Amino acid sequence: MNTNNRLKKIIATIGITSIVFITSCNAQNGISKNGFDLSNASIGVDKILSGGPGKDGIPAIDNPVFVTKNKSGFIKDTDRVLALEVDGVAKAYPINILNWHEIVNDKIGDKAFAVTYCPLCGTGAVFSSNIKGKHSRFGVSGLLYNSDVLLYDDQTESLFSQILSKAISGPLVGEDLTPIVSTHTTWGRWKALHPNTLVLSTATGHVRDYTKNPYGDYGTNRSLYFPAPSSSPDANSFHPKETVIGLKDGDQIKAYPFSELDKNEQSEFTDLIDGKAYTILWDSESKTAQIKDQTGNVIPTIQGFYFAWIAFYPDSLIYKTK
């Protein structure tokens, strides 16, 4: 089955009734796509592609319903979750649900945030919803850059790159999103560490089969649905869907492939980047990685596919076990 047919099948599976499907990945002309003004885009408009769905064709979850771990029979211990803890409150967001919605707009106390996940890049990240003092709702634009989801805010309809964590068009162009520390791990590990955690339930207000992955074996095969540059000298050293945890701390940019962390066999070790020490935490059983800075604080990172990280950061350092 070719790429276009696979995409059509995925779109049909997701249940989108109104789509704008582009049957070619060639450059698209114009300064408006999916209704978004791209006249001041900071990247080439030809690099902003339609993923198939129109604006909000993939519906974000705006009123998330949570249950305790005792009522979480819909999720297995081995299932992956994107999870966080804010002000002592722990929450987990199953990837099986995020595959279908990509964004959950949520809050803990007075802290509002957007939980984001891109199935095409395997990337999960959480961002504060407060931009320039305003509380924004985020939605799925239906557009992609380097195969990665472009979010939009409802206040200005600016487009934001998830991996760049920055607005690439609209009134907020150039504005950085504020990341919030999250963990991509298994449900079993998360609930063991956080016994009082809440978990996003399947009561999303949408009819979806959350037991199925609409993308099939995409996460393990070598094919990409959309073009993404790869100029890394190590591009052929790793499977394009190899999972990495990506560090971007100022000028320090480095990816840690999970296969290399497994070779290391250390659950905790220090890595020096230009004389700056970072502590890498690795749990081989659950395939969970986190990174601490020199002060001992866990810092925001992005976990995802190798090809996606290299597409955005072609000069990134790559960790290899000595």
CA dihedral of 160, 166, 170, 173, whole degrees rounded to 10: -170
pLDDT: is 8 or 75 the higher one?
75
pLDDT of 30 strictly over 90: no
228 phi, psi to nearest 5 deg: -145, 130
Give me 131's structure tokens: 């931009």
Pairwise CA distance, residues 147 & 49, whole Å = 8
pLDDT: is 229 or 304 the higher one?
304
Pairwise CA distance, residues 125 & 302, whole Å = 6
What pLDDT was estimated at residue 13? 56
What pLDDT was estimated at residue 230? 75
Give me 112's structure tokens: 């509002």
What pLDDT was estimated at residue 232? 58
What pLDDT was estimated at residue 14? 58
- Give me the mean pLDDT over the 181-198 stretch: 98
Kindly report, residue by residue over 201-259, the tens digit of the pLDDT. 999 999 999 999 999 999 999 999 998 887 655 656 899 999 999 999 988 999 999 99
- CB neighbourhood size of 72 (10 A): 21
The β-bridge relationship of strands 89-94 and 138-145 is unpaired
> Do residues 21 and 52 touch, judged by C-beta distance below 8 A?
yes
> Do residues 154 and 162 touch, judged by C-beta distance below 8 A?
no
pLDDT of 132 strictly over 80: yes
pLDDT of 282 strictly over 80: yes
Pairwise CA distance, residues 159 & 162, whole Å = 10
- Give me the mean pLDDT over the 74-101 stretch: 98
What pLDDT was estimated at residue 186? 98
pLDDT tier for residue 9 given thresholds of 50, 70 and 90: low
Residue 268: burial class (beta carbons within 10 Å; 0-12, 13-18, 19+): exposed
In terms of residues, how long is the chain?
322
**Amino acid at residue number 120:** L
pLDDT tier for residue 129 given thresholds of 50, 70 and 90: very high
pLDDT of 28 strictly over 60: no
What pLDDT was estimated at residue 233? 59
What pLDDT was estimated at residue 26? 34
Worst-scoring range by mean pLDDT, 22-26, 37-41, 53-57, 118-122?
A: 22-26
What pLDDT was estimated at residue 86? 97
Share of the chain above pLDDT 90, in %: 83
> Do residues 300 and 183 touch, judged by C-beta distance below 8 A?
no
Could you give the domains of the chain? 3-50 (no CATH), 66-140+147-200 (2.102.10), 243-318 (no CATH)
pLDDT of 12 strictly over 60: no
* Closest to 20 (Cα-Cα) out of 118, 140, 102, 143: 143
Pairwise CA distance, residues 287 & 186, whole Å = 8
pLDDT of 120 strictly over 50: yes
CA 121 to chain centre: 7
pLDDT of 184 strictly over 70: yes
